[in-house]
Structure 1
Amino acid sequence: MADPSSYRPSPGQIPDSPGVYKFRDEHRRVIYVGKAKSLRQRLANYFQDLAGLHPRTRTMVTTAASVEWTVVSTEVEALQLEYSWIKEFDPRFNVKYRDDKSYPYLAVTMNEQYPRVQVMRGHKKKGVRYFGPYAHAWAIRDTVDLLLRVFPVRTCSAGVFKNAARTGRPCLLGYIGKCSAPCVERISAEDHRELAEDFSDFMAGRTGTYIRRLEKQMMDAAEEMEYERAARLRDDIEALKKAMEKNAVVLADATDADLMAVAEDELEAAVQIFHVRGGRVRGQRGWVTDKVEAVTTSDLVEHALQQLYGEETGDSVPKEVLVPALPDPVGPVQEWLTGRRGSNVSLRIPQRGDKKALMETVQRNAQQSLVLHKTKRASDLTTRSRALEEIAEALDLDSAPLRIECYDISHLQGEDVVASMVVFEDGLARKSEYRRFQIKGRVGDTQIWHGEGQDDVRSMHEVIARRFKRYLAEKEKTGEWVEDADESAEAGDGLGGPANGLKDDDGRPKRFAYPPQLVVVDGGQPQVAAARRALDELGIDDIAVCGLAKRLEEVWVPGEDDPVVLPRTSEGLYLLQRVRDEAHRFAITYQRTKRAKRFRASPLDDVPGLGDTRKQALLKHFGSLKRLRAATIDQICEVPGIGRKTAETIAAALAQAAPAAPAVNTATGEIMEDEEPGTTADPSGEPVAAGSPDRRRGQET
C-alpha cells in the first residue's frame, strides 16, 4: 500500500487549466482516469488527509504509485479524452457499466453495395444503421416479416446472395415477393439502396408521411380502376399499421428522446434507458455497475451518457435526453452531445406532464432491474454454496455456516435505541425467525453499563447477551443440542436440529432454540469485541463471530488487529453484505415505527401544562408508559422538572386511561416483554405479517 505523499507532485507543477489525469499503480497500469476543469484544484483533493477521503477514493490513492495528466483547451475536449482513455485502459476504479444482457438490434448494413436487414448483437460497426435495442430477437423478426411486404429489402447472408447470383435463381423470399431479388438484378443497386433508405426512415419514426403517401397512391389506383394495385397498397398500409402497433404511443408524434433512470444502493447501480422515436418506445436497454469509486447520481448519469453516445453520431443521438440528475457541470456534456449529433441536443430533468410520467416508468424499471440482478445472484444454489465456502475459508471455520445471524443497532441521536436480528439459512433469508429488540441497558437483573449515554458497542453487548441467554435457558430446560444432522433428523429439520423436545406442543420450534454457526455484527473491531465478550461471559465458545464495517467492507474477527479483506468479486463478501444490509433495513424500520409511536396521542397529552420536553423526560426516566403508570407519586417527583402537584395530576390522568393489553405469544401463552418476531417486507419495504397468522404485526415492546 503506497503513501500518496510519496508521489504527490508539488503544487507548482500542476497547471490550473482543464485536463485529464491518470493514476497508475506500481506496475504502471492505469487504475483511474478523471477529468477536471482545473487540474490543480482537482488533484489537490486526492492528496489531503486520508481520513477525510471517501473509503473508495482512499483505496484508489493508496493503490496508486504515480499520477500524470494531459492539458486540453476546453472541458468538452477533456470529456472526449476521458472517454477515449477509459475505453483504452479499462481502469479498475472507474465506473464500468455492463449490459445486464446482450440486447439484439435491428441493423441495416448501409455500408454494403446491396444493404441487408438483419439482427445484430455486440459492438456497433461503422456505416450500419441500428434500431432498438429490442428485448427479444423474435420481436425483431416479427417486425421485419411485416415490413418486408412493403420494403422488400435483402435479408440473406453474403453466401446465399453469391450463390443466387451464380445460379441465376433467387431464394424463396424472392419468389414470394418479400425480397426485391437484387441478386438476379430484378432491381438496380440504386433502387435497392433507396428501398433500404425508406425502410430505415420508417424504422426511425418517420411513419406518418410514408403512410399518407401510400394512402394517396391507393386512392389514385382506385380512381384509375387499378383495383388489384389498390388492394395491394391497402394490404401494405395494414401491414405497416400492424407493425406500428407493436410499439406503444407514449408521447407526441414528433418526440425523439432518450429517457434515462438510475436505481442505486451503496454498492451497485442499475441504469435503464427508453428510446422514444416518433412518440413511440422503439427500444429499451439496461446496465448494472459496481460502484467501485465514490460516485454521485450525477456522476453515474455522466458516465452512462459517455457509454451510450460515445460511438454514436447523427440521428442516433436524439434531440432530447431526459435524465434524473444533471452532470456537474452540465454545459460541457450538453455541448459534447450536440457535437455528436451535429445539431442542438437538450439535456434536462423532466418536471411535469407526459415526459415526467414516462420517466417514473423508466425509474420503476431501473429499480426492478437492480432487484432482479441481486435476486438472480442470491438465488443460485451453486453461487450460495460457493459463498458459504468462501466465508468458512476466510474465517477459518471447520464447516460452512449454514445458519448465520446478523445484528444491527439503530437509534436517532441516542433516542429509541433498538436492535435487529436477521437469520439466513443456506444463504437465504429466513424471515419467520427475524427478531427485534428494544435496548434497555440491562440483561435480567445485571446492569450492563451506568450513566445516561448509550452507544452501539454497549447496545451490541446487550442484545447478544439477551439473545444467547434465552438460548441457554431453552437448552437447559429442554435438553442438550444435537449437533449431528443424522442424529437429529427425526426430531429436528435435518440440518442439525432440536432433540429431546426443543419444540412447542404444536410442533413449532422455540423462538431462540436454534444457535447459529456464525454471528455477524454490523460494525468494526469494537462491535465484534463486544459480541465476543458477551458470548464468553455466557460460556459459549462454539459460535464464530465477525463484523462487517460499512466504510471499507472489511471483515473483522475477534482478537485480530487487522481485518480480513475479501475480494470485491467474492461471493462470500456479497453474501455478508446482503445479510448486513437486511439487518440494517429491519432495524431502521423498527426504529422509525417506535419514533412515530412516540408522537401518537397518549394519556400524558391530557395533563395540563405538561409539554413535550417533560413528557420525554418522563418516558426516558421510566422507559415506558406502562412503568410510568405503575410508579408512585414520589417516584414521579424524582424526574427533574416534575413537582408534586404535577405528579398527582399525571397519576390521576394515567389512572383514568385504560391500560394497554400486553403482547402475548398465542402459541405459548407467555407475555413477550423483550424480543419480537420478525416481519417480512413487501417490495416497497413496508412491514407485513410474517410466518403463521398468529404472529403479531408491528407490535412494539
Structure 2
Amino acid sequence: MNLEEKLKQLPNEAGVYQYFDEKGKLLYIGKAKILKNRVKSYFKFTPKLLPADKLSPRIYKMITEVKSLEWIVVPNEHDALILENSLIKQLKPKYNILLRDDKTYPYIYINFNENFPRLEITRRVLKEKNIKYFGPYSTGARDMLDSIYEIVPLVQKKSCIKGKEACLFYQIKKCFAPCEGKISKEEYSKLVDNALNYIYNKNKLISKLTKKMEEYSNEFRFEEAMKLRDRIKTIEKSQIQTGMDLATNENIDLFAIKIKDTKAVLVRMFFRDGKLASSNHNYIKPNKEDITIDIQEAYERAIINYYDNEIPVLPDEIIITTELEEKDEIENFIKEKFSKKIPIITPKRGKKKEILNVALDNCNELLRLSSVKDTSSVYSQLKQLFNLDKVPNRFECFDNSHMMGQATVGAMVTWEEKFEKGDFRHYNLESKDEYSQMRETLLRRVESFEKNPAPDMWVIDGGETLLKLAIDIRNSCGVNLDIVAIAKEKLDFKAHRAKGSAKDIIFFENNGIVEKLDLLPSDKRLQFIQRLRDEAHRFAISFHKKQKRKEDTQISLLQIKGIGEAKMKKLLLYFGTFENIKNSSLEELKDVLNEKDAMLIINYFKTLEG
C-alpha cells in the first residue's frame, strides 16, 4: 500500500503516528488529538502528493523523505502525549528533538518522624508524612551530605541508633550517642537545625570546608586537602551563581532554552523556599547535523521528560522564556500525573524576569564554550571517520567475562565527556559461548531503553560477527543508534598476542556494509575507542572476580567440616541466602543449629576474612 492510500485510512481518533523513509528507517514520531486531521496537515494532495506549504524547513525536509506511515490509536490526547514521549526516548527518530538527561534527580531528605533523624538521599517519593526534602541536585548531593556529617555530629549510620551501646563514632567525637541516652531529643534537634542551615546556605558550607582544607594543607596532609578541594568544586558546580533570590518562599522550576544554528542548550534552575537549590544544563542536538531545532518542541520535550519522573517536591509554578502553543496540554499532563495544577508562565518583568535573563546568559556562555570545543573534538572526528549522520556524544561499551564457564558476567560502561560511573551496569549471564553472552547482554540493555534511552553509539568488544549481531538487535527494535566494534588482529594470533604486538582493528557499518579500519596506534580516534574498551574490560573483570569469589565461598561453605548438606539446607531455608548466613550473629545461628555448629560457621568466616 502506498503512502497516499495509507493517508486515506487515517482514523478520527487520538493517537501517535510514525513516519518512515524508503529504507524503513524511522524519521519522526508525533501525537494527535485527531490523527486524520493532524497527519494530513503535513501534505498537499494536488496536483500530486507533496509536502504542505508553510511547513518549517526542518519538517518540510522530513516530509520529502517520508515513504510510509504507521499509527497507534489511544483513548485520549493525554495518553497520546505519554506514548509519544516514551517512543521518542526509546527509538530516537531522526527528526525529533532528543534530550538525554530525563533521569530522576537525587534529593536530600530528613524524616522528622524519627526521634533522632538523620539526613539521607533518595530519588523517589517516600510514603511517610513529616518528611522534608531538599533539591533536586544534579550533582553534589553526596558531597554535601558527607561534608555535613563530618562537621555536625549527627547519628552517622542508620544502624547506629538501633545499637544498644556507643560505637566508634562516639569515641572519635562524630556522634553524641543517643543510643545510650547521652543526648536529649531537644539537644539533638539543635544539631539538626545546624545541619539544615548548611543545606540552606551552601556558601557557609563551602567556607567551612575551605577552612578545613587550609588546616590540612598547613599540617602537610595534602591528600586529605585535595579530597576537600575536589568536594568543594563539586558542590560549587551544583548551582549557577545568580546573586539573587526570589524574595518569597515560592518553589519554582525554571527552564531556559537558547538555540544557535543547529544546536541548543537547556538550563534548568530549581528554586526552593525562594532560594536557588540547584541547577543543571543539557545540550539539545537533533539526530542529524543539518536539521534546525524548533523551540516549541524543545520546551515540550524538556518539560514532559522532567515531569515524567517521581518528583518529591513539586513547584508552585514553572517559568520559561517562550510562550507555549500547547501549554494547556502540558499543564493537563502534569495535573493528571501529580493531581496538582501547576501553571506554566513567561514573566515579563520583576524578579522572575531577571532570573530568566540570568539563565539565558548562562545558555549563551554554554553555547559559546561548546562551539569552541566541538570544532576539534574527537567526537567530530569519529563522525567523519565512520560517515555518521551526527556527532556522537554519549557512548556505551560492552564486554563479557568468565572463567571456564563460571561466574559469567556482562558489563556496560558509559561515557559522556567522562566515564559516567553511576550509569555503569553489570549483568549476570546464563549463556555459555561468547556470541550468546554478548547477545544476552545487549538484549538486557535494549529492555531498559524506556527507562534509560539509547546512547549515540555502542562500542562492542569483538569482531565482525559480534558487530553484525549488535546491528541485528538494533534493527529489530527500530532505534537510531550507531555501532562500532574493536578486536585484536588475527595474524598467527596465539604467538602474536602472546608477544603483546596484536593491533586493534575497528569494524563499522557503512551504508549497510561492514567495513574494517586499520588505524595507527597513535591515532586519537583509535585511542578513544581503546579507552572505552579497556574500561569495559576492567569493569567486567572486577565484577567477574567478585562473583567468582562469591561462588567459591558458597561452594566451600558446603564443605565446612561438621556442616552437612541437611544442615546447610536448614540454614538456607531460614536465612534465605549465603550472604545472610555469613552476616549472622552467633545468637541468630544458634536459633537454627546447636552452639557447636554455630561456632564452626562463625570461625570459618573469620578465617576467610583473616
TM-score normalized by the length of structure 2: 0.45
Which one has a bigger Cα radius of gyration?
1
TM-score normalized by the length of structure 1: 0.39
